[in-house]
A and B are shown apart, each in its own frame.
Chain A
């Protein structure tokens, strides 16, 4: 091949690579549009703007935190501890590679894709804690999870040289463990310290349903998240001159991902519909649970098996949700259930159905025990640090808003605007704070037997 043709092919390969991940980043932004719509809809109308601001600021702060810390940790910690190897040095924010560099068309675009993974991880917690967390306290926690905790998990188990791959043969192609499971268990640690919303449980432990103020908006939000997940999963494939590989270097293609993403999505919706008896919130959450159920094995499941695994995964979530309520865990959007519980289930399913599949470079093959140990590592990594940090914030009175603010609504106190000035009924107690606010209408709530 003439040198000029070789140069042209090389240049086109770099351009294609950049464009591939640029599209992935753009599509992943839809996840955040979806989270915002989902959580705004799930809030009562007295909290919608504070909820939206929380989502917006979570995205902004995680991206910045991930630039300064996260990308370095990913490149420095595959062995388990921080090592100042060449990749790690190149990921430091003052290096030649962490800014516009004509000779490096890879660092920025990969950092960007990972920054969106980070923002997704941090934002998963956001819905669980609605309507009673301090926005500042939440942002501290979400930056911690999005820029530090999950990316350590990714370096360990979602990296071509991570110790969980090299020692355990761990397999989690679609990041069900390092993203979903870590975020779900982090949310659990946080919720234990945060406590439920006022009125969510009666003194005898009976659950009181606090209905979302706009269920159709939550459903639209979840559909946006589904769409964004095609960008997320696209970014989980490594695109190179010789085609696609998984993040572990094993060959794959987007056809494999398409089969199982769509069959998983469908299976999860159907499974959750059946077990929730057609309840809309659980049914559409089942779609997310379905995709997460098959995510670790997108490259290897037969689509029919993927459908079955996803249907069971989606079908389980209403029961896990009910179980958490028995412990008085008030998880507004079922993040612990859908992301934490389903992520754990998904990793174990790979251990059952993909036991014996080989890895590259003489690494251990995929095994049931490797998946189980990996799942437990991610559960601990998600839960323990976030539990401890949220406990510290609680001691410093930076975790929860005062009860008076919770009853009157966050929008009234900390957001200098009003969401529905023309009068959608506002839930909560009447507020006469001297600014001319009209008395508000209390919303009905119903009990769950």
Chain B
């Protein structure tokens, strides 16, 4: 569905959607938004974690359920 080619005779651009396409633009925009969103989420997490330490409160975010880890927060 997203292939820019119909066969493998003299293939050039083979990546999904093809160059200079709407699909590529959409993927780039979503990827950039996710990249920026990662920073926003990280700042949110840090603010929460630092606030808990400053107030001497338990950190309420759950950690991963990994064997050998301390009791989940």
Interface of A toward B, CB cutoff 8 Å: 61, 64-65, 68, 93-97, 99-103, 134-136, 139-140, 398, 401-402, 404-405, 408, 412-414, 416-418, 421, 431-437
Decide: A405 and B50 in contact? CB cutoff 8 A.
yes
Task: State the CA gap A449–B19 with chains docked (Å).
Answer: 63
| Given A99-B13, A100-B14, A405 and B61 contact (CB-CB distance below 8 Å) | no
Decide: B59 and A413 in contact? CB cutoff 8 A.
yes
Task: State the CA gap A421–B70 with chains docked (Å).
Answer: 8
How extensive is the interface on chain B, given as a class?
Answer: 35 or more
| Given A402-B54, A433-B58, A102 and B71 contact (CB-CB distance below 8 Å) | no
- Pick from B32, B50, B69: contact of A402, CB under 8 Å: B50
Chain A residues with Cβ under 8 A from B31's Cβ? 64, 68
Interface majority SS on A: helix, strand, loop or mixed? Answer: loop
In the complex, what's the smallest C-beta–C-beta distance from A65 to chain B, in angstroms? 8
Task: State the CA gap A401–B51 with chains docked (Å).
Answer: 10
Decide: A413 and B20 in contact? CB cutoff 8 A.
no
Decide: A412 and B66 in contact? CB cutoff 8 A.
no
Chain B residues with Cβ under 8 A from A417's Cβ? 63-64, 66, 69
Interface of B toward A, CB cutoff 8 Å: 11-15, 19-20, 24-25, 28, 31-32, 35, 38-39, 42-43, 45-46, 49-50, 52-54, 56-59, 61-64, 66, 68-71, 73
| Given A93-B28, A94-B24, A139-B39, A101 and B53 contact (CB-CB distance below 8 Å) | no
Decide: B43 and A398 in contact? CB cutoff 8 A.
yes
| Given A416-B63, A417-B64, A421-B69, A136 and B12 contact (CB-CB distance below 8 Å) | no
26 contacts between A and B (CB under 8 A): A93-B28, A94-B24, A95-B19, A96-B12, A96-B20, A99-B24, A100-B15, A101-B13, A101-B14, A101-B15, A101-B19, A102-B14, A135-B46, A405-B49, A413-B49, A413-B50, A416-B63, A416-B73, A417-B63, A418-B70, A432-B56, A435-B58, A435-B59, A435-B70, A435-B71, A436-B71
Task: State the CA gap A418–B49 with chains docked (Å).
Answer: 15
Task: State the CA gap A96–B21 with chains docked (Å).
Answer: 10
Q: Taking CB as reference atom, which chain B residue is nearest A57?
A: B42
In the complex, what's the smallest C-beta–C-beta distance from A4 to chain B, in angstroms? 17
Chain B residues with Cβ under 8 A from A435's Cβ? 58-59, 70-71, 73
In the complex, what's the smallest C-beta–C-beta distance from B61 to chain A, in angstroms? 7
Task: State the CA gap A93–B62 with chains docked (Å).
Answer: 37
Chain A residues with Cβ under 8 A from B64's Cβ? 416-417
Decide: B46 and A68 in contact? CB cutoff 8 A.
no
Decide: A64 and B35 in contact? CB cutoff 8 A.
yes
In the complex, what's the smallest C-beta–C-beta distance from A401 to chain B, in angstroms? 6
Q: A100-B15, A135-B46 given. 7 additional CB < 8 A pairs? A: A93-B28, A94-B25, A97-B19, A401-B46, A405-B49, A405-B54, A412-B53
